[in-house]
Amino acid sequence: MSHNAESTAFRSALEVIRAVEPRVADAIGAELTDQRESLKLIASENYASPATLLAMGNWFSDKYAEGTVGRRFYAGCQNVDTVEALAAEHARELFGAAHAYVQPHSGIDANLVAFWAVLADRVESPALKKAQVRQVNDLTEADWFALRRELGNQRMLGMSLDAGGHLTHGFRPNISGKMFDQRSYGTDPATGLIDYDRVAEAAREFKPLILVGGYSAYPRKVNFRILREIADSVGATFMVDMAHFAGLVAGKVFTGDFDPVPHAHIVTTTTHKSLRGPRGGMVLCQPELADQVDRGCPMVLGGPLPHVMAAKAVALAEARRPDFADYAQRIVDNAQALADGLLRRGATLVTGGTDNHLVLIDVSGYGLTGRQAEQALLDSGIVTNRNSVPQDPNGAWYTSGIRIGTPALTTRGLGTAEMDQTAELIHTVLTQTTAGANADGTPSKAKYTLDADLADKVARQATDLLAPHPLYPAINLT
């Protein structure tokens, strides 16, 4: 597609939308402007290619396609079969997986498909069949306990939230915490690193059905060979959620012991984040779980989204190109440069650095909570998200950390020199922000003070830093 074709495609789309609801067209245009002008450092976000974006806006959106390729509950799905098969083929080849299921709408959906596939593979339960005809919201805690007991008192062992794990790895606010009796493994208090001996000890004591590896805020590599050995030692299924670092696996930055696909029984991921595709999920698995995974719809999912599967096929095809490996390596190079720049300026980082795409700043050293730091940075044109740190005294809402990542800025072409400048902007804002007080004079975990002129200055500097690296340079909406 030529540059003129990209501009024409998006301008024409907005004109069609504007004729029906101009406020939506305005919001879409404003979002592009905001993304072009902001330093996007959210580790879970990226910029999909124009081809990927355009693949989502088409007639596939109109199709119902419950079932799998060649086995649909609706007629007329031959073209859906084509794009789903292509997406699965690209996923298998890209990751070296035996089987790929590309229907999940999100990472959470992918995890639910994986959990239920493992359960269904292990047991056939009368209690489960009975529960399926009831509304989930009607089940009491006692019902869930009885159901888990009927399923064999199923247990899950995963990384704790404050150590960098994810809500979907068995925590009570999420449905996974009701499906499983869950325990967590943390990190070494002194280093912030996974202590594999302690994980093995916890597994021997707890004897989980599923051992979960993977994270959303752990800035180091994980040795999946060791975790598989631990799982095997207690007869557990080993599942890895690689949603955050899938692009580093696809780009062969993580190989050997650090590539989860050869070691795990089942792997879940999102297709955006470092993989740079559309928002969605995916499951990779060993052959023995393939039949259960393919029952994700209707077991967990509603109708697949064929337009998103088409976009997944495009993005996965892009990730198989040689230049994607270079991109993946630059993500890590940039993250390490950003971490080094922050450390030189006196910031405290969880684990003291990074091996992957993200950096976790403990902002308590600046006298701030994560919520205060997040908003002060946003005021200054720097988009981040607050995140818990190990043994966080402020809990999961206010937090003591800021999580930052480099996939999006790397997509724009920024390099290690710009990462050092980014570290300077972050440090400037955090050192000039002071915690506020509540009306009664007690310290506030949300209020803060930051000079507006300083925030404007940093925002202008951020825009200047981005100027040589325009976002979607081929697209002109005016």
* Residue among 45, 66, 121, 424 flagged as catalytic: 66
Q: How far apart are CA 316 and CA 206, in angstroms?
A: 38
Q: How far apart are CA 370 and CA 416, in angstroms?
A: 25
The CA distances from residue 175 to 111, 139, 180, 182, in Å, are 11, 12, 9, 12
Q: Annotated catalytic, 379?
A: no
Q: Round the CA-based radius of gyration of the chain to a whole number and report it.
A: 23
Q: Annotated catalytic, 18?
A: no
Q: Annotated catalytic, 64?
A: yes
Q: How far apart are CA 182 and CA 236, in angstroms?
A: 14
Closest CA to 341 of 430, 420, 421, 425: 420
CB-based contact 304:74 (threshold 8 Å): no
* Residue among 148, 220, 273, 386 flagged as catalytic: 273
The CA distances from residue 38 to 310, 378, 383, 453, 462, in Å, are 29, 9, 7, 17, 7
Specify the residue for token string 């709408």. Answer: 105
Q: Annotated catalytic, 34?
A: no
* Residue among 68, 237, 270, 384 flagged as catalytic: 270
In 3-state terms, what secondary structure has residue 17? helix
* Residue among 162, 181, 241, 340 flagged as catalytic: 241
Closest CA to 245 of 348, 113, 342, 335: 335
Residue type for position 101 = Y
* Residue among 11, 63, 64, 82 flagged as catalytic: 64
Q: How far apart are CA 337 and CA 332, in angstroms?
A: 9
Specify the residue for token string 């696996």. Answer: 249
Q: Annotated catalytic, 273?
A: yes
Buried b (16+ CB within 10 A) or exposed e, 72-89: beeeebeebbebbbbbbe
How long a stretch of residues is the chain?
Answer: 478
Largest CA distance in the chain: 66
CB-based contact 175:108 (threshold 8 Å): no
* Residue among 279, 295, 345, 447 flagged as catalytic: 279
Q: Annotated catalytic, 279?
A: yes
Q: Strands 401-405 and 71-72: what pairing? A: unpaired
Q: How many other C-beta atoms lie within 10 A of the C-beta of residue 267?
A: 31
Active site residues: 64, 66, 241, 270, 273, 279
